Homo-oligomer: A and B are copies of this chain.
Amino acid sequence: MATITIALDAMGGDFGPSVVVPAAIKMLLKEPHLAIFLVGDEAAIKQQLVECKSATHARLQIIHTTEVVGMDELPSQALRGKKDSSMRVAINLVKENKAQACVSAGNTGALMATAKFVLKTLPGIDRPAIITALPTEHETKTVRVLDLGANVDSSADDLLQFAVMGSVLTEAVENIKQPRVALLNIGEEEIKGNDQVKQTAQLLTESKDINYIGYIEGDDVFKNAADVVVCDGFVGNVSLKVMEGIAKMIAHYIKTSFHENWYTKLIGLIATPVLKNIKKRIDPSRYNGASFLGLQGIVIKSHGGANILGYCSAIHEAIKEVEKNVPKQISDRVGALLETEKPNSTN
């Protein structure tokens, strides 16, 4: 099996090298064909390596950089002003074919702007999109939702491309033939949805390339009713954040309810194995790693607050996408789609 080389932005995220370095070591031990570039401040990385009791590793290489993109920095500023940032250099390694994918827990806007600028979009793709897997009520099944915020105003054509890209990714990574693609909509209106949604529905229905199953409402997203859910980036991002907020609120309620008095604390102690099991099932670490689709290269965004386990999931997502060469597959499918849409010149 060929080596898979992944560049990690070691400085990105809320915890920087203290999460990225241990995750890198963990994944190198687990994946014998994995090689890693740790991109960032060499001293900080080395210190973390010492703390991991892994001063060196044969498949690990440090690339020293002098700058870091701040979590609140404007994407345009990061792009223009920080050419030696860990984020930029990690993406450059993909561009230069030294790495096959890059993972960063840094500023999402800056990562997208830099990735678009350095790697460019695939031919035929107008806009990249952000996609991630989310849990469903079915223990082993996930649902992938896109776009999660790469774009704020998308046309029906953009949404059609998102559907194709999401379908290709899910087919490749989950080994699902013809994944069920649904369009996020509301159920309250006479003729359902806004203009954008209605136009997209028509395009999806006409497309022979997508297993389009129709509209889906927000509460059905988590019922394993679809494999891919398409929406515009504004709606997707708000939904993702609302999800996070609700899950945190419920976790907060569970915690405070078990901490109310000595008796409930005792019950909490007894219930620990079950509570741990519940926590594990909805643990965001398991689903960490959003893909930027539509670029000439694989870029995975880890959540800024991801822990080591979460960062490992993001690296794992990168490996899977490299193995399946997702950008090439998207390019082929979009190429075929454009081909069928061409007016027949012989008539």
Contact = CB atoms under 8 A, between A and B. Distances in A.
Interface in A191-232: 193-195, 197, 217-223, 231
Query: Top 9 A-B pairs ranked by shortest CB distance?
Result: A218-B241, A219-B245, A149-B188, A218-B242, A186-B237, A152-B194, A219-B241, A219-B244, A222-B249
A218 B190 contact: no
Interface of A: 74-76, 108-109, 112-113, 135-137, 149-150, 152-153, 184, 186-190, 193-195, 197, 217-223, 231, 233-235, 237-250, 252-254, 257-258, 260, 264, 267-268, 270-271, 273-274, 277-278, 281-282
A239 to B, nearest CB: 5
Contact of A254 (B108, B221, B222, B278): B278
Contact of A274 (B137, B186, B187, B264): B264
Contact of A218 (B197, B231, B245, B258): B245
Nearest to A193: B152
Contacts of A268: 271, 274
A150 B257 CA distance: 36
Contact of A267 (B150, B194, B219, B271): B271
20 contacts: A109-B188, A109-B190, A137-B252, A137-B253, A149-B189, A186-B233, A186-B237, A187-B237, A218-B241, A218-B244, A220-B245, A222-B249, A238-B239, A247-B250, A250-B278, A253-B278, A253-B282, A260-B277, A264-B273, A268-B271
Contacts of A150: 188
Most buried by B among A219, A249, A271: A249
B233 A76 contact: no
Contacts of A189: 109, 149, 152
Nearest to A252: B137
Given A222-B249, A246-B247, A237 B108 contact: no
Contacts of A252: 137
A334 B231 CA distance: 34
A243 B241 contact: no
Given A109-B190, A253-B278, A274-B268, A242 B243 contact: yes
B152 A237 contact: no
A86 to B, nearest CB: 20
B249 A278 contact: no
A20 B41 CA distance: 66
